[in-house]
Amino acid sequence: MPRNGNIDRRRFLKAAGGAAVATTVAGCQGAGSNDGGTATETTSGEETSGDTDTESGDEGGSGTLTYARGNDSGTLDPQATSSGEDAKVIQQLYDQVIEFAPGKTTLQAGLAKEFELEGTTATLTLREGATFHNGEEFTSADFEATYRRFLDEEYEYFVGADTRSYYGPYLLSVVKTVNTPDDYTVELELKEKHAPMLRNLAVFAFGMISKSAIESSDPLRKNPVGTGPFQFESWSESDGQIRLSRYADHWGTKAKVSEVVFTEITENSSRAQSLNAGSVDIIDGLDAQTTSTIENSGNAELVTTPGINVGYLAMNMARREEFRSQKVRQAFNYAVDTQALVESIYSGLAVRANQPVPENMTGYNDDLDMYDRDVEKAKSLLQEAGYGDGFEIELATFRNPRTYNPSPSSAAQLVKSNLEEVGITTSIRTMEFNAFIEYTNTGKHDACFLGWMTDNADPDNFFYALLHPGVEEIPGGQDWVSFDAENFNTLNVAAWANPDYKQLVEEAQETYDKGTRAEKYKEAAKIAHDQAPWVFLDHAKELRGVNNRVSGFTIAPISGPYLNRVSVQ
């Protein structure tokens, strides 16, 4: 989530259904130790490592770390959320069987000390001695229960079709069976080859949950039981404050502070002022103004890293007939001044985009041109499409900054001005983010600002997640699908459905050769660029404000925040 934590998600593939679960449990225990492991290289073009951070003994932890953000969490159940705000806290409470190396995109051992993907079989060797916050040891039975709660609708403790986030089907529906031959071995048999499989297991939503907690009557929303470096203490929803304490028996890198407090400060300027005053230690959700405040502060520093994200303006082809014309969509791309957007509105916090993935991602196509602003070309394309007199649209956006859109109000005003110059009358609808997500999830928008921050640093997480229609068959003669189509992917808020693109990203999912896979994504990127279901806006930096008394903070373009590594003086 994930990835300032503002990686909010829409639920999709709700109708995908649960995968079948076949479980074999033997009485013997597998061998293992609390150390690093080995791994077979995965298929995303990144190296994969079995090493992990582990510490022996317990040197204790001291101090309280306060993390300020723009919104409170909605739940602490990893399987019931698609919110980046929830993920920030969940990452502290739960571990995955495979993890992302802090601040990197490589994989490392987590609760599985060894992992490999061979053909259609993923094998995990679990580490011994890792315990949940209730003191019970993590075993393959917990993996099975966690998986079944997420995927198996016949399971007595299934999370629920209306509760489950889209992550369950998206990450795991390719799994055919789960076998647990002993307490420390898990074998996943896949329906077909699936290149992102190992990376999918590292996503926050598949944090390992205690089987006994799953089977208890305590709801996980406010009673989380994981194996993470921090354990849950309290949640004051009226104050927007969640308290976690150090878990001294954590199997890996033990927390260096005794307590973490997540606190809600809705105003960006107030968060920056609190950081400068020393009342909070780390903040996110930064715009150009708060970034400047931090840079001029003597008490804090601005920490940045290239992001793995994309910001875009989606044109809803299911709702508006005008957007079913490729020429109209291209006209919008020529009309919007993305150069001014990234330089003036975002103050250099981002670079321009022309395809679904950023330059640091496998499958990025260097041969694609930017849509440089050209008012006359935009007008000409609209004339050719039969809309020379223009038309009216509503542009939906959100209030608080996201990494991919650090100044949503100003960005919307710029786009409104640009579009009206070519004859498109634009009204702006500004909403709170949760309401906005529901609005776009159900296809009520004409056009909308949105963005994506990667879950797993795999190109599939952009190309498939955002622009594959989800449906088996595209209705003949059209390049869009309805939001109420069976299995429709509601992350695809443009409702775009191109058969050539669809085939390429499906083939790429099943391709393990990195070079071949990259070429398929480059072809898909060109189709997306030319067909233009989005106005391609930007790829943004990850930004955090960190007080000078904090040491050991690692900014992460994926996963995190890694607060167990942080010390506070």
Question: What secondary structure does DSSP assign to 246-287, as a single string?
Answer: E-TT-SSS--SSSEEEEEE---HHHHHHHHHHTS-SEE----
Q: In terms of Cα–Cα distance, which of 134, 128, 127, 93 is closest to 110? A: 127
Name beta bridge partners: 117: 122
| Residue 289 φ/ψ, nearest 5 degrees | -70, -45
Q: Which residues contact 374 (CB under 8 A, 6 or more apart)?
A: 334
Q: Classify domain 14-54+81-215 at the CATH topology level.
A: Dipeptide-binding Protein; domain 1 (3.90.76)
- The CATH-assigned architecture of domain 309-541 is Roll (3.10)
Q: Which residues contact 8 (CB under 8 A, 6 or more apart)?
A: 82, 83, 84, 85, 402, 433, 437
d(CA 150, CA 402): 28
β-bridge pairing 185-190 and 534-547? unpaired
The domain locations on the chain are 14-54+81-215, 230-304+543-568, 309-541
- For the record, the structure tokens of 346 come out as 């975002």
d(CA 488, CA 497): 10
- For the record, the structure tokens of 370 come out as 């930017």
Among 3.40.190.10, 3.40.50.300, 3.10.180.10, 3.40.50.1980, name the CATH number for the domain at 230-304+543-568.
3.40.190.10
pLDDT tens per residue, the chain (569 residues)? 332 333 333 333 332 333 333 333 322 322 222 233 333 433 333 445 445 555 544 566 789 999 999 889 999 999 998 888 899 999 999 999 999 999 899 999 999 999 999 999 999 999 999 999 999 999 999 999 999 999 999 999 999 998 998 899 989 999 999 999 999 999 999 999 999 999 999 999 999 999 999 999 889 999 999 999 999 999 999 999 999 999 999 999 999 999 999 999 988 899 999 999 999 999 998 888 899 999 999 999 999 998 999 999 999 999 999 999 999 999 999 999 999 999 999 998 999 999 999 998 999 999 999 999 999 999 999 999 999 999 999 999 998 888 899 889 999 999 999 999 999 999 999 998 878 988 998 999 999 999 999 999 999 999 999 999 999 999 988 999 999 999 898 889 999 999 999 999 999 999 999 999 999 999 999 999 999 999 999 999 999 999 999 999 999 888 889 999 999 98
pLDDT single digits (tens) 215-255: 998 899 999 999 999 999 999 999 999 999 999 999 999 99
Give kind and range of the element (H or E) at residue 67: strand 64-69
pLDDT single digits (tens) 104-128: 999 999 999 999 999 999 999 999 9
Burial (Cβ within 10 Å: 0-12, 13-18, ≥19) of residue 392: exposed
pLDDT reported for residue 253: 95
- For the record, the structure tokens of 177 come out as 């069976």
Burial (Cβ within 10 Å: 0-12, 13-18, ≥19) of residue 144: buried
Q: In terms of Cα–Cα distance, which of 529, 528, 350, 336 is closest to 421? A: 336
pLDDT reported for residue 53: 55
* Number of C-beta neighbours around residue 32 at 10 A: 19
* Number of C-beta neighbours around residue 217 at 10 A: 5
Q: In terms of Cα–Cα distance, which of 309, 289, 285, 305 is closest to 297? A: 289
pLDDT single digits (tens) 25-66: 322 322 222 233 333 433 333 445 445 555 544 566 789 999
Helix (H, G, I), strand (E, B) or coil at 480: strand
d(CA 82, CA 195): 23
pLDDT reported for residue 54: 52
User: Phi/psi class of residue 285: alpha, beta or left (left: φ > 0; alpha: ψ in -120 to 50)?
Assistant: left
